[in-house]
Amino acid sequence: MESTSATCQVCGQALIGRSDKKYCSDQCRAQVNNGKKKADTGERLMLDINRTLRRNRSILKTLSPLGKTTTRREYLVLQGFDFRYFTHQYQTRQGNIYNFCYEYGYLLLPEEKVLIVNWQSYMQAK
């Protein structure tokens, strides 16, 4: 049997036995798998959020291709709009806060209404 100087990829301990082993123990193997699972969860969460943001944007775009449009909140919900997700905010001098999904934003109005607006270059100023 050929001797190898392989070491565990997690803890660095010398590996004994089969030369195709990567980890010294089940514990080290589990640690790697847990790490992978965590990374996958993060990736999946990002993909889900990105998808939601893109859907929100396309709903706003469809409802308000140009300029300002007032619509009912429930109408956005029916289209699958998710009010929990937006990319950034813009606060007017009057204190109104617009939530944006990329270049389309909205302001919640009284009586369950929503004002949809397009991003304007002056909004960039902080």
CB of 38 to Zn ion, least distance (A): 19
Please say which residue, 11 or 49, places its beta carbon nearer to Zn ion: 11
Please say which residue, 8 or 53, places its beta carbon nearer to Zn ion: 8
| DSSP 8-state code for residue 87 | S
Distance CA 58, CA 117 (A): 13
Q: Are 104 and 64 in contact (CB under 8 A)?
A: yes
CB of 19 to Zn ion, least distance (A): 16
Binding site for Zn ion (CB under 5 A): 8, 10-11, 13, 24, 28
CB of 41 to Zn ion, least distance (A): 24
Q: Are strands 88-91 and 113-118 parallel, antiparallel or unpaired?
A: unpaired
